[in-house]
């Protein structure tokens, strides 16, 4: 029971110096026994308040045991719970409290001090006991929660000693590994790994125990009780004592076998063709890189790039499923041909395959190998009672391992196949460095042509078409030329070859038409309406363009050039084949274009005329007004001592002239060529003898002279 009291206590605001000294001594004794989460100033203030309470409790008529009991409890609350806290408190207070009454030698009744300190001890002990009970209860609750997690966790858990011996496992780990409950206790943790992986597992375990690795996170394969491999994700930590020494190692294992199988499946799909199961381009190039890296520098590797002949006929004629079956059959047969060699077969896409043959006892005989391939592919297989067979056209590259990269080897094989594809079927060709360099140069030109058009490197040159009899200007041929920054001036034929390799051919062709028509109108304004027609020789793709007529209409409308003052010529190869059929890709369209253009009033003609059946059909069936002879004929006729070629050309030209068509000899570059053509029957000519391709000013000079004569 709290006692009423009076005395010298008057609050902290008037703390006497002796009281402050007691507090300092008490703080020194307490902090020597334990540490608390307070600063030195906060600790002194706290203890000073407790000292004041004790002085007040002792100063009344009777000892205020409730206050002393509260002070003891507050020591525990503040964290003063060291092993020497209570004994040092008694030592300090038992000597120092009497001095607070003014006489440091005063000796209050022993019973009052015992009563005060006993109440303080009682409060301290009860509070400490209660705190321990709370901690113990919390620990028991935490242990129960951890046990519940341990027992019910779907993740396998093993608790082992620092030496690796397992002391406990949960049910999930037993089930994952196929063991009965408790069967793993006493075994070494590393026994769960395959013998080959045990050294790595021991190294990881040692790293955890020694503290080198704070935590273990790794994928690993464990052995089930039945010997099967099981992939798990391991996560391990070490439980340590207060002094830092390891007590237990907790290892958690999550079964990821299904996930790993899925990853392997996805990886396989990423690196393999879904239709045939063969390696795809990505995998093939990666494998090629590895092969080249490990071979001797002088070793010869062989790469075949194959294109299936007739696959489109199967796929489009019999259906997509038939095409898929054909690819599967081709893949199996190709793999079978090279099965006995160190090799890889891959599907690169569509109906293209690649075969890499690594060096063996001897360099493979390519001719025999490809014959074997085509023999196997040509063996018929049946689709709904329809016998189907395939063959392959092949580009071949053989190189030393130290003289090529995977990218260059693939490019060379692809380029080699591209050069032979379309010429014939079931053929093969070996890589030719000179031919490849020339083709690559053409590809570079084709790739650079859009930029050349944009930056003004392309220009239009003009060349007069004259009569052989008196060299009167009957027309002006406009052609594209390219002032290349490295190669110099490129001719119209070179520009056509480059443009035909890309879609820029249509843009360049339209630019040529528009520029030539504009120039023709400029000459008409200067020299009058009798200026001869402007002639544009279309590129093959341009001649077959379904929008050609609309584009010509646009040019005529924008420039004001009369339709009759424009002559459009198409290459005969874009209209008819040598046997007279329509050319692949749009021969019929090219013929229709010329017919419609003549209906608009535009003059129509053909060039590269060589006298074959196809060319003669163009002359016979199309409303054309001019024919320009092919360049090889002009060169050969002038140098024909037998006169056989010139007599044949004479008969051909006279036949054409008899149909009322003007025949243009091309090119006429010297007097000998000019002398033979009138006898053969050509009436017009184009060539350096009468004016090389040049700027419009050259044509203006010719027109000016002609205008002055008139």
- In the sheet where 300-309 sits, what is the strand order? 343-349, 352-357, 300-309, 391-400, 428-430
Entry pTM:
0.64
d(CA 337, CA 386): 25
Per-residue pLDDT for 539 more than 60? yes
d(CA 504, CA 507): 5
Domain spans of the chain, in order of start: 12-133, 153-261, 272-431, 445-709
Place of tokens 């040598």: 578
d(CA 211, CA 227): 32
Residue 424 CB coordination number (10 Å): 9
**How does pLDDT run across 431-473, given as a tens digit for each residue?**
999 998 888 888 888 889 999 999 999 999 999 999 999 999 9
Backbone angles phi, psi at 461, to 5 degrees: -105, 155
**How does pLDDT run across 172-183, given as a tens digit for each residue?**
999 999 999 989
Q: Using the 8-state DSSP alphabet, how is residue 507 labeled?
A: H
**How does pLDDT run across 233-291, given as a tens digit for each residue?**
888 888 888 788 888 999 988 888 888 888 778 887 888 999 999 999 999 999 999 99
Residue 691 pLDDT level (bands cut at 50, 70, 90):
very high
Q: Which two tokens stand for residue 83?
A: 């092993």
Residue 100 pLDDT level (bands cut at 50, 70, 90):
low
Q: Are 592 and 549 in contact (CB under 8 A)?
A: no
Residue 710 pLDDT level (bands cut at 50, 70, 90):
low
Backbone angles phi, psi at 184, to 5 degrees: -90, -10
Supply the pLDDT for residue 12: 39
**How does pLDDT run across 112-155, given as a tens digit for each residue?**
888 888 888 888 888 887 877 777 777 677 777 777 778 888 88
Per-residue pLDDT for 3 more than 70? no
Residue 631 CB coordination number (10 Å): 14
Supply the pLDDT for residue 243: 80
> Closest by alpha carbon to 12, among 39, 45, 41, 42?
45
Per-residue pLDDT for 7 more than 80? no
Q: What SS3 state is found at 225?
A: coil
374 vs 72: which has the higher pLDDT: 374
**How does pLDDT run across 484-506, given as a tens digit for each residue?**
988 888 888 888 888 888 888 99
The pairing of strands 684-685 and 156-160 is unpaired
Supply the pLDDT for residue 16: 52
Report which secondary-structure segment, H or E, holds 584.
Answer: none
CB burial string 131-168: b at 16+ within 10 A, e below: eeeeeeeeeeeeeeeeeeebeeeebbbbbbebebebee
Mean pLDDT, range 554-580, rounded to an integer: 95
Mean pLDDT, range 631-638, rounded to an integer: 82
Whether omega before 667 lies within 30 degrees of 0, making that bond cis, reads yes
* C-alpha distance across the termini of the chain, in Å: 146
Per-residue pLDDT for 13 more than 50? no
d(CA 131, CA 411): 80
Supply the pLDDT for residue 10: 36
Superfamily of domain 153-261: PAS domain (3.30.450.20)
Supply the pLDDT for residue 33: 75
Mean pLDDT, range 8-34, rounded to an integer: 69
Per-residue pLDDT for 6 more than 50? no
CATH class of 445-709: alpha beta
d(CA 380, CA 386): 9
| Chain centroid, CA 274 distance in Å | 19
Contacts of 592 (CB under 8 A, 6+ apart): none
Supply the pLDDT for residue 430: 94
The length of the chain is: 710
Backbone angles phi, psi at 619, to 5 degrees: -65, -40
> According to DSSP H, which parts of 564-670 are helical?
587-599, 613-621, 631-638, 644-658
CA dihedral 465, 467, 473, 478 (to 10 degrees): -10
**How does pLDDT run across 670-681, given as a tens digit for each residue?**
888 888 899 899
Strand partners, 606: 570, 627
**How does pLDDT run across 543-560, given as a tens digit for each residue?**
999 999 999 999 999 999
Half-sphere exposure of 580 (CA within 13 A, CB side): 6
Q: Are 564 and 602 in contact (CB under 8 A)?
A: yes
Supply the pLDDT for residue 618: 92
Degrees, nearest 5: CA angle 426-429-435: 140
Supply the pLDDT for residue 77: 87
Q: Which two tokens stand for residue 190?
A: 């590393």
d(CA 617, CA 626): 14
Supply the pLDDT for residue 93: 86
Cα maximum dimension of the chain: 158
**How does pLDDT run across 495-534, given as a tens digit for each residue?**
888 888 888 899 999 999 999 999 999 999 999 988 999 9
Backbone angles phi, psi at 362, to 5 degrees: -150, 155
> Closest by alpha carbon to 652, among 616, 604, 607, 614?
616
In CATH terms, 272-431 corresponds, of 3.40.50.2300, 3.30.70.270, 3.90.730.10, 3.60.15.10, to: 3.30.70.270
Average confidence score pLDDT of the chain: 88
Q: Which two tokens stand for residue 200?
A: 């790595």
| Chain centroid, CA 341 distance in Å | 32
């Amino acid at each position: 029971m709290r006692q009423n009291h009076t005395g010298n206590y008057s609050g902290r605001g008037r703390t006497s110096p002796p009281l402050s000294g007691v507090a300092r001594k008490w703080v020194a004794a307490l902090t020597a026994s334990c540490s608390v989460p307070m600063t030195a100033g906060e600790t002194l203030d706290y203890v000073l308040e407790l000292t004041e309470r004790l002085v007040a409790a002792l100063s009344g008529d009777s000892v205020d045991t409730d206050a002393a009991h509260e002070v003891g409890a507050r020591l525990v609350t503040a964290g003063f719970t060291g092993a020497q806290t209570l004994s040092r408190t008694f030592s300090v207070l038992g000597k120092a409290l009497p001095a607070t009454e003014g006489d440091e030698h005063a000796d209050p009744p022993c019973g009052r001090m015992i009563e005060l300190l006993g109440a303080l001890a009682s409060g301290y002990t009860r509070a400490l006991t209660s705190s321990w009970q709370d901690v113990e209860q919390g620990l028991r609750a935490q242990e129960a929660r951890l046990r519940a997690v341990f027992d019910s966790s779907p993740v396998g858990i093993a608790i082992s000693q620092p030496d690796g011996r397992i002391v406990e496992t949960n049910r999930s780990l037993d089930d994952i590994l196929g063991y009965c409950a408790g069967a793993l206790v006493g075994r070494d943790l590393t026994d769960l790994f395959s013998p080959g992986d045990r050294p790595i597992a021991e190294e990881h375990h040692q790293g955890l125990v020694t503290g080198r690795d704070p935590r273990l996170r790794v994928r690993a394969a464990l052995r089930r009780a039945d010997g099967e491999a099981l992939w798990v994700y391991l996560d391990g930590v070490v439980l340590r004592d207060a002094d830092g020494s390891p007590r237990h190692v907790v290892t958690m294992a999550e079964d990821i076998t299904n996930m790993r199988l899925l990853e392997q499946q996805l990886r396989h799909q990423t690196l393999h063709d879904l239709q045939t199961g063969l390696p795809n381009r990505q995998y093939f190039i990666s494998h090629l890189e590895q092969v080249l890296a490990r071979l001797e520098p002088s070793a010869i590797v062989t790469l075949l790039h194959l294109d299936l002949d007739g696959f489109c006929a199967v796929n489009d004629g019999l259906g997509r499923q038939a095409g898929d079956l054909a690819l599967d059959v081709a893949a199996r047969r190709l793999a079978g041909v090279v099965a006995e060699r160190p090799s890889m077969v891959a599907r690169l896409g569509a109906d293209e395959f690649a075969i890499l043959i690594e060096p063996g006892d001897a360099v493979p005989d390519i001719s025999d190998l490809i014959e074997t391939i085509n023999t196997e592919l040509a063996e018929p297989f049946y689709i709904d009672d329809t016998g189907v067979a395939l063959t392959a056209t092949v580009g071949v590259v053989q190189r030393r391992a130290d003289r090529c990269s995977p990218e260059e080897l693939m490019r060379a094989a692809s380029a080699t196949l591209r050069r032979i594809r379309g010429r014939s079927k079931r053929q093969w060709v070996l890589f030719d460095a000179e031919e490849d360099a020339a083709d690559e140069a053409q590809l570079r030109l084709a790739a650079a042509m859009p930029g050349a058009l944009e930056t003004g490197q392309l220009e239009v040159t003009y060349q007069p078409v004259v009569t052989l009899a008196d060299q009167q200007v009957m027309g002006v041929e406009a052609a594209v030329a390219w002032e290349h920054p490295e190669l110099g001036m490129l001719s119209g034929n070179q520009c056509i070859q480059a443009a035909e390799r890309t879609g820029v051919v249509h843009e360049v062709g339209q630019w040529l038409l528009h520029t030539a028509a504009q120039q023709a109108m400029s000459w008409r304004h200067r020299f009058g309406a009798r200026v001869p027609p402007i002639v544009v020789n279309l590129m093959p793709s341009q001649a077959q363009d379904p929008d050609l007529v609309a584009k010509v209409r646009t040019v005529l409308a924008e420039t004001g050039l009369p339709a009759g003052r424009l002559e459009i010529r198409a290459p005969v190869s874009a209209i008819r084949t040598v046997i007279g059929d329509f050319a692949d890709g749009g021969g019929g369209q090219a013929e229709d274009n010329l017919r419609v253009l003549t209906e608009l009033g535009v003059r129509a003609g053909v060039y590269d005329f060589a006298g074959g059946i196809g060319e003669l059909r163009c002359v016979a069936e199309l409303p054309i007004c001019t024919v320009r002879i092919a360049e090889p004929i002009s060169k050969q006729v002038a140098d024909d001592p037998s006169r056989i070629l010139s007599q044949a050309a004479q008969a051909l030209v006279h036949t054409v002239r008899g149909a009322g068509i003007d025949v243009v000899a091309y090119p006429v570059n010297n007097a000998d060529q000019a002398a033979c053509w009138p006898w053969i029957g050509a009436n017009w000519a184009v060539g350096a003898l009468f004016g090389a391709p040049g700027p419009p000013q050259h044509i203006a000079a010719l027109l000016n002279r002609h205008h002055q004569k008139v």
